[in-house]
Chain A
Amino acid sequence: MINRLSPFLAVMLVVGYAFLYGPIASLVVYSFNASRLVTVWAGFSTHWYVELMHNEAIQRAALISLEIAVIAATGALLLGTAAGYALQRYRRFRGRALFGTLAIAPLVLPEVITGLSLLLLFVALEQAVGWPQGRGVPTIAIAHITLGTAYVAVVVEARLAAFDRSLEEAALDLGARPFKVFLVITLPLIAPALAAGWLLAFTLSLDDLVIASFTSGPSSTTLPMVIFSSVRLGVSPQINALATLFLVTVAVLVTLAGRLMNRPEPKS
């Protein structure tokens, strides 16, 4: 039986979606506008996308963003997997509760605070040990790793909680050493969660404006920073086109991550 929507509920649904996605839809629609004015429709055109392809500043920023996102997602995957594994597998150790809280605290920490604290850290480090020299891609990537690690840890911990441990015991029993068991049994079976965690961390890094603004240097302007600063100088439909491409990329990645996370464990 399919529940039919009452007219009232249908209207509320439309209003709700319009509130949430109306602005984004208008942004996407106007990216195909022939006019330079973002409020006047003058016919369909892909002019702004073509112009975007020739905008070197934006292309450079896009490459920097991708580079940072790849480094940050990979770093977050390594650290987050280790943290999630420790939280799920070592049920009792001194400071476990504190470790658990600290590992996922970046999820709820205000970004402004995270960004500011990291900036102060990098400045202090530079004065103390001479590294990092100024701020740029490495500092942004490190900052994004701190954020991404928390997401990966949560995803991996959840996946391991549903993991049938007798599989690992069976492998041990058949003569595989613990590290081998992790490589040939645990890792392949939690791979979807790892991929989902990587994609989430990648998307977070790609999206982030606040933390990146704090930790970036003169030569490391990321894509969100370009969008943000150019909007302040007046909105160009080129930015609409860029935002649309950005939106599509992020939507695809998040959907993919969601699918991987919700993939049921294969039955043994």
Chain B
Amino acid sequence: MTATAAARPSAAAAHLRIEAVVKRFAPDAAAAVDGVSLDIAPGEFFALLGPSGCGKTTLLRLLAGFETPDEGRILIAGADMAGVPPYRRPVNMMFQSYALFPHLTVAQNVGFGLKQDRLPKREREARVAAMLDLVKLGRLAQRKPHQLSGGERQRVALARALAQEPKLVLLDEPLAALDRKLREETRFELVRIQHRVGITFLMVTHDQEEAMSMASRIAVMSQGRIVQLGTPQEIYETPANRFVADFIGGVNLLEGRVLRAHDGLIEIDSAEAGAILVVEHPVLAAGSTVAIAVRPEKIVFAPPAAAANRLEARVRGLAYRGEASTYEVELASGKLLRVTQVNAVRQAPAYAAGDSISLGFAPGAAVVLAP
């Protein structure tokens, strides 16, 4: 895994360092954050990804200083944050609700932190203007938050979080309150702004697409722990376990027993698949039970007759999404699979419910999951 090693910052360069942090909200309750350790490099766009209640927001609040860890340490730029109140941390947060001050104008909102820093008025005004330019809101400087659209409010919140030039910006579900189309545009916008200002971003999200398209590295969290850490591609293509495979995008799981291993391939006898499956994987003991994961877009229809992993199935249903169609197919064992086909030509051959088809996937397309 050289890619992981390269993407992971060395301890010396770590900008934000979280060491074995534990947070419990009641002495007898399960830990909301359960022994999380993490190093984040300067200038990184990092995402904490997980379902609601996985502890990602609590971790963010620990970094901002709104909660205190029960165990462990948090270091920002080498400084231990223990006992440092939120108003003295070199960290700014963009709240999910944006938390814009309703009685202040856009310019006053953005300049609020600078005023606390006692920056001279002229410098403050220049910085506010620069920030509003950055998020393209210069013409709305004198408006009140309730006079803005959702997207404009989101950008004011971002400008406010960036204005003090913090060492780290925390973004709590930054796009959740936007409608779908705006959300997709804003992803690129956020990444562009992050590149321009060069400030480390730490984003919390439950949306895997959002995390993968924006972040350079992702930590997938579940029940207060980090279950996998890596680049979007590593997380998607080599999920560490079933939870990650299932949470990140659609996935088909097939279980079976290892028959033998040879030449970097293993053969699996899968009753669910009704076939002997061949998957690229280092040696595994014969007889052990394994699960393999195949992404819906990696399964093809009507593979060549001699291809490995050829399965016979019947179409149960079809969801046409425009750019692609997702089929639900049923194997002879009753196991249901999802298959995504890109609609590359306008009159792509469509299968209807009840059609018999054959499917296949390459040995390299499937991943053996840790039990």
Q: Which residues of A contact B (CB under 8 A)?
A: 164, 166-167, 169-178, 180, 185, 188-189, 265-268
State whether B66 touches A266 (Cβ < 8 A). no
Q: Which residues of B contact A (CB under 8 A)?
A: 64-66, 85-89, 91-93, 95-103, 112-113, 116-117, 144-146, 153, 160, 164
Q: Which residues of B contact A173 (CB under 8 A)?
A: 64-65, 86-87, 89, 91-93
Write the chain A residue with the least CB distance to B160: A174
State whether B87 touches A164 (Cβ < 8 A). no
Write the chain B residue with the least CB distance to A170: B99
Q: Which residues of B contact A167 (CB under 8 A)?
A: 99, 101-102
Q: Which of A175, A188, A189, A267 contacts B116 (CB 8 A)?
A: A175
State whether A268 touches B101 (Cβ < 8 A). yes
Residue from A164, A174, A189, A268 whose CB has the most chain B CB atoms within 10 Å: A174
State whether B66 touches A188 (Cβ < 8 A). no
State whether B100 touches A268 (Cβ < 8 A). yes
Q: Which residues of B contact A176 (CB under 8 A)?
A: 87, 112, 116
State whether B103 touches A188 (Cβ < 8 A). yes
Write the chain B residue with the least CB distance to A166: B99
Given A267-B145, A268-B97, 15 more A-B residue pairs with CB atoms under 8 Å apart are A164-B99, A166-B97, A167-B99, A167-B101, A169-B95, A172-B86, A172-B87, A173-B65, A173-B93, A174-B87, A175-B87, A175-B88, A178-B87, A267-B102, A268-B102
Write the chain B residue with the least CB distance to A177: B87
State whether B97 touches A175 (Cβ < 8 A). no
State whether B98 touches A171 (Cβ < 8 A). no
State whether A175 touches B117 (Cβ < 8 A). yes
Cα–Cα, bound, A185→B113 (Å) = 13
- 26 chain-A/chain-B pairs, Cβ below 8 angstroms: A164-B99, A166-B95, A166-B96, A166-B97, A166-B99, A167-B102, A169-B95, A169-B99, A170-B95, A170-B100, A170-B101, A172-B66, A172-B86, A173-B91, A174-B87, A174-B92, A175-B116, A175-B117, A176-B87, A177-B87, A178-B87, A180-B116, A185-B101, A189-B103, A266-B145, A267-B102
Cα–Cα, bound, A178→B88 (Å) = 12
Q: Which residues of A contact B146 (CB under 8 A)?
A: 266-268
Q: Which of B66, B97, B116 contacts A174 (CB 8 A)?
A: B116
State whether B116 touches A266 (Cβ < 8 A). no
Write the chain B residue with the least CB distance to A167: B99
State whether A171 touches B117 (Cβ < 8 A). no
Write the chain A residue with the least CB distance to B117: A175
Residue from A170, A176, A189 whose CB has the most chain B CB atoms within 10 Å: A170
Write the chain A residue with the least CB distance to B118: A175
Write the chain A residue with the least CB distance to B66: A169
Cα–Cα, bound, A175→B87 (Å) = 4
Q: Which residues of A contact B87 (CB under 8 A)?
A: 172-178
Q: Which residues of A contact B65 (CB under 8 A)?
A: 172-173
State whether B101 touches A171 (Cβ < 8 A). yes
Closest 4 CB pairs of A and B: A175-B116, A174-B113, A266-B102, A170-B99
Cα–Cα, bound, A267→B144 (Å) = 10
Cα–Cα, bound, A173→B92 (Å) = 6
Instruction: Quote the shortest CB–CB distance from B223 to chain A (angstroms).
Output: 25
Instruction: Quote the shortest CB–CB distance from B87 to chain A (angstroms).
Output: 5
Write the chain A residue with the least CB distance to B91: A173
Cα–Cα, bound, A176→B117 (Å) = 9
Q: Which residues of A contact B88 (CB under 8 A)?
A: 175
